[in-house]
Chains A and B, each alone.
Chain A
Amino acid sequence: MTQALIYALTGAVLFMLGVRATLLRESLLPRLLALNICGAGVFLIFVSLAYRGDSLPVDPVPHALVLTGLVVAISATALALALNRRLREMADE
């Protein structure tokens, strides 16, 4: 259990670091990276929840949730990058 707890706490710390940088940074790229770190923290918490001791198999539900979450996070990141590129093209014109 302690090992899973270390992972979960690391996830919580990552989440908080990500929130802080998302809110405080000014340019988009670091903010987007921070959001992804935030997401990684949340997913780490989910993955650590799946551990149910050495004798039991891992709980598959959190893993399935993480997969869905990853897909959402990737799409959102791609959308933000595309919007940012369009904005830069407009600034160049």
Chain B
Amino acid sequence: MNNLLIWPVAVPLLSAVLTLLWPRRSTWIGVLGTTLSLLAVVLVSRQVVESGAIELALGGWSPGLGIALRADGLSVLMLLMSTLVSMAVAVYASVYISRSERRSEFWVLWLLLITALHALFLSGDLFNLYVTLELLGLSAVVLACLGGSRESLQAALNYLMLGLLGSMAFLIGVALIYAGYGTLDMAALAAAIESGPTAWVALSLMTGGLLIKSALFPLHFWLPPAHSNAPAPVSAVLSALVVKAALYLILRLWLALFDEVVTQTAALILGLLGGIAVLWGSWAALQAERLKLMAAYSTVAQVGYLFLFLPLLAALPEGTTRDVALGALVLLALTHGFAKSAFFLAAGVIMQRAGHDRIAELGGTARALPVTAFTLALAGVALIGLPPSGSFLAKWQLLSSVFITGQWIWLPVIAVGTLLAGAYTFRLLGYAFAPGEGVGPSLSVGREEIPAVLLALAATLVLGFWASAVWELVPISAYAGGEG
């Protein structure tokens, strides 16, 4: 039964090859491949829920010599989010991209991106992680420049260069780990790594590389141009999923592998950077003149929130309270994934209809595109953290962790960040619901509007009401060093 684990990686990879061989049917194969990947992830998740973490030794070579794939609670949650988001975005893209000449290229890269994401979430080997990071980075860069404009190419090139630098730093960390411990298997490392100079330098280099990729302030500067100039479906997955992949790795490294190396000071530094990211990103989103740029800056802020959890997690003793805080972190990441992809898809609908995304000229959107305006409002609810969204529960837990640990400095950050998020959301809604002729009249619901509203509903309702599943899954860990 364990070989189920290969399917979430193999299905999109095989579909990508099929798309290359048969470009005229690319849309069809792309959507079908995404659907089958969703099915594979659901099967794997069911098995993890029923029987705990699972492991697959690729090719029958035992870990240490070969490479292991592992699925536990955290990876299953990330997989489910990424596959559900990519399913909705694929349906949207089948309409959005259908008239483009670059259709078949889009679908090949799309499926490769999904392959890389799934492999990353399942990988149990540090070097394999580096390879999946590079696969993810390369396919994301090419997808980001499919728009073809000069700005998007320039942004994609910057994204590529910084991404490569980040991977190099990660790789040198991998080398140090191999030098120190003689293995790259993460389960073996989780037990072996002890505090010491090798582990310290390796952790700093790997974290530094991943911080570039997760766009934590002050390494965020590549993100807004790259995410806002890409085609809408690509922006959606870049902001919702690709950034989260780096964050997932930081969590894995900090909580499972290097849990004995991490100090309160190091966690505090990342928390402070996260705090600045929350304030600065929200402020920049409030100033943004274009809808997609606003969404991209809001991603910078939301990534900041996730890093606020690190000093709290480091201060909490292992056990239930820490698992609750970790669950809240994951819930916030998942909610943001759904909400931000919904937001970008809605922005794409508006851009196609109106020909621009200048916020000040969006008057009349609510009348012309009621479903899309509703999507923006719902996604806004999740970005602010109003009930009943998943981020409301997550922020509630974030606040209670602040109270438990007595780290009061995060309190004003969370309060001001939430107010600013409210301000930029309501500024947008104010324009979108105002009367005006910015967007041409149309009362029909387009097929491309549906996936966005479903994603927004997932962020606000599904994750809000069924959030307990997240807390049940998070403690299932494949790495003994983490949760014991």
A13 at the interface (CB under 8 A from B): no
State the Cβ distance, B157 to closest chain A Cβ, in Å.
5
Q: How far is the CB of B363 from chain A (nearest CB, A)?
A: 34
B412-469 interface with A by 8 A CB criterion:
none
Q: Mark B126-158, 1 if CB is under 8 A from A, else 0.
A: 010011001001100110010000100110110
Q: Which of A41, A45, A83 has the most CB of B within 10 A?
A: A83
Stretch in B159-167, B341-349, B350-358 touching the partner: B159-167
Q: B150 to A79, Cβ gap below 8 A?
A: no
Interface positions, chain A 51-67, Cβ under 8 Å from B, are 61-62, 65
Tell me, in angstroms, the Cα distance from A12 to B172 when the chains sit together.
9
Interface residues in A75-91 (C-beta closer than 8 Å to B): 75-76, 79-80, 83-84, 86-87, 90-91
A68 is contacted by which of B127, B137, B160 (Cβ under 8 Å)?
A: B127
Return the chain B residue nearest A73 by Cβ.
B164
Q: How many residues of A contact B (CB 8 A)?
A: 33
The CA of A76 and the CA of B138, in the complex, are separated in Å by 7
Interface residues of A in 4-24 (CB under 8 A from B): 12, 15, 18-19, 22-23
Task: Take A22-B165, A76-B164, A80-B161 as given contacts and tell me if A15 and B141 are in contact as well, using a CB distance cutoff of 8 Å.
Answer: no
Q: Which residues from chain B contact A69 at a C-beta distance below 8 Å?
A: 130, 171
A39 to B184 alpha-carbon distance, docked (Å) = 19
Asked if A15 and B168 make an inter-chain contact with CB atoms under 8 angstroms apart, the answer reads yes
* Whole-angstrom CA separation of A28 from B160 in the bound complex: 11
Given A15-B168, A15-B172, A35-B168, A83 and B153 contact (CB-CB distance below 8 Å) = yes
Interface membership of B175, Cβ < 8 A: yes
CB distance B150 to A90 under 8 Å?
yes
Decide: A42 and B134 in contact? CB cutoff 8 A.
no
Asked, given contacts A49-B179, A68-B127, A76-B138, whether A22 binds B150 with beta carbons under 8 Å apart, the answer is: no
Show 14 residue pairs from A and B whose CB-CB distance is below 8 angstroms, ordered by the A residue.
A22-B161, A22-B165, A32-B161, A35-B165, A38-B165, A41-B172, A42-B172, A45-B175, A62-B175, A75-B138, A79-B138, A79-B141, A83-B160, A87-B153
7 smallest beta-carbon distances between A and B, as pairs: A72-B134, A83-B157, A45-B175, A38-B168, A42-B172, A49-B179, A42-B171
